[in-house]
Amino acid sequence: QVQLVESGGGLVQAGGSLRLACAASGRSFSTCAMGWFRQAAGKERECVAAINRSGGSTYYADSVKGRFTISRDNAKNTVYLQLNSLKPEDTAVYYCAAVLDWGFSLYTRMNEYVYWGQGTQVTVSS
């Protein structure tokens, strides 16, 4: 069992930055592939970034490539999402997700993830 708690969301002006963190409980974090998803009002939840269990491979959606950075600290059971050059269209609830993986795979689809956090709101004003 893995429990996830996100933090770091808030209100920021366009062009600003935020750093989201997702703290995981349990002893399995280093065997989890992780992902960050977001869901804007009236839209489907989408994967914006993913990282494999070692941190050696990452994925970014085209819409955030070059602006967002995913990283993890397995010693702290935490995955991060650095959001730079924020735009109003980045406004959404951001969720972290985890799936146990004994390989080094990346996962980008919602139905591949088993554990979810409660989400943290990011609002970007123009």
> For 51-107, what is each residue's pLDDT tens digit?
999 999 999 999 999 999 999 999 999 999 999 999 999 999 999 999 999 889 999
**Residue 38 token pair:** 């977001």
Q: What CA–CA distance (Å, rounded) separates 57 from 74?
A: 14
Separation of alpha carbons 48 and 83, rounded Å: 11
pLDDT of residue 26: 80
Burial string for 9-29 (b: 16+ CB within 10 Å, else e) reads beebeeeeebebbbbbeeeeb
Q: What is the pLDDT of residue 28?
A: 85
